Amino acid sequence: MNNGPLLLFLLSFGHLCIDLAQGALPALLPYLKDCFSLSYTVTGSILLAAHLTSSVIQPLFGYVTDRRPFPSLLILGCLVSGIGIALIPNSPSFAWLIAFVMFMGLGTAAFHPEGFKATACIASVKRATGMSFFSVGGNLGFAVGAPAAIFLVSRYGLPGAAALLIPAAAAAALFVPALPHIRKRIADVAALPPSPVENGVRRPVYAVSLIVLIVVFRSWTQLGLVAFLPFLYREELASNPEFVAALLFLFLGAGTVGTLAGGPIADRIGHRRMLFFSLALQVPLIFLFLSAHGWVVFALAAAVGATIVSTFSVTIVMAQELFPRRMATASGTIAGFAIGTGGIGVTLLGVVADRYGVPAAVHLINLLPVLGALLAALLPIPWKAGLVRTA
């Protein structure tokens, strides 16, 4: 019996629950800032702690699981992430807050490399499509996390956000009976001969380095907007929290549509072309979004969110195809190191916000996709064709 679709659905659901906790954290920042009387710079360091934990540890998890598959990390990752987000709103001091944030990041680091690798093995020749489906779970998690956190805090106070543990625990329980099937799929792919690298990509390290930098700028763009939108609309957050929750939901939720569309489009027109045009399109969209008023804000929030996230699965697949025998390491580098460094960008934007105000910091974000598009144009990868033909 072909249980591949069911396993992909479970992996996507686990990804949803992991990233739900990650998505909830930016929405909690205004409440944590007030609770501990923090500056914008120090508030940004909370995200830095969460994402640096993932970025430093995740490639290490990938390296370990490439040498010896460890599907149990799917269970442990969900549990650790869920416990971490439940402890954050109950932190007795700022030091404990940072410790709990880093603990949550450790769960994220454990889950993603094995999740990306398992998805690639299960999806086989339809890797871009399978990776898009897996990524959709993460997009939905980010989208639901922010409004869920605002809903819980606005009704039950900051400790109410501890209820975000429940979906993570449910995902961990569902992975238990699926582990033997996931382990077998990984072993079957590991037994195949290496896939030949085609299309003349002779500098894979250089190529993946550029991809990492592109993802860093993309991550800074997305996380910067997510972190500072609640501050940009702080008056609405106090008087009408549903406004900010809806805005964040549309911004992050549209990433689901972007991810589903991005994979097939990249397969049709080429990964590099898809990456370049996505980054270039972000520049005018972000400018219009930050300048808009009324209902147009919500429409542009969705457009910006979908465009930013549309290449998430594409960059993962590009890295995996450059290093087909080190898929977990490649995935961990992109999803962990590159995406995790978004916390650095938020901290630097916090410095700008403390000195020049939140609007100045937010408008500065629009320079990031410009840099990303320039790097995409330099990728030593064919403009139309794919990288490798997978087994």
Residues of the chain with pLDDT under 70: 1-2, 124-128, 190-202, 235-239, 336-343, 382-391
Tell me, what's the pLDDT at 209? Answer: 86
Tell me, what's the pLDDT at 313? Answer: 78
User: Residue 197, SS3?
Assistant: strand
Q: How many CB atoms lie within 10 A of CB 156?
A: 13
Pair of tokens at residue 370 = 């410009």
The CA distance from 334 to 340, in Å, is 9
Tell me, what's the pLDDT at 178? Answer: 92
CATH topology of domain 4-377: Growth Hormone; Chain: A; (1.20.1250)
Tell me, what's the pLDDT at 201? Answer: 55
Strand partners of residue 388: 197
Tell me, what's the pLDDT at 167? Answer: 95
Say what the alpha-carbon torsion angle 313, 3, 172, 32 is, to the nearest 10 degrees.
30
User: Residue 388, SS3?
Assistant: strand
Domain ranges of the chain: 4-377
Tell me, what's the pLDDT at 16? Answer: 94
Alpha carbons within 13 angstroms on the beta-carbon side of residue 214 total 31
Tell me, what's the pLDDT at 109? Answer: 87
Q: How many CB atoms lie within 10 A of CB 96?
A: 13
Please state, in angstroms and as integers, the Cα–Cα distance from residue 107 to each residue in 21, 169, 171, following that order. 10, 12, 13
The CA distance from 221 to 202, in Å, is 30
Q: Are 15 and 139 in contact (CB under 8 A)?
A: no
Tell me, what's the pLDDT at 85? Answer: 94
Cα–Cα nearest to 44, from 283, 349, 318: 349
pLDDT tens, residue by residue, 277-289? 999 999 999 999 9
pLDDT tens, residue by residue, 139-173? 788 878 888 998 999 889 999 999 999 999 999 99
The CA distance from 314 to 336, in Å, is 15
What are the residue ranges of helices labelled H in 191-295?
Answer: 204-232, 234-239, 241-269, 271-291
**What is the crossing angle of helices 271-291 and 312-322, to 10°?**
150
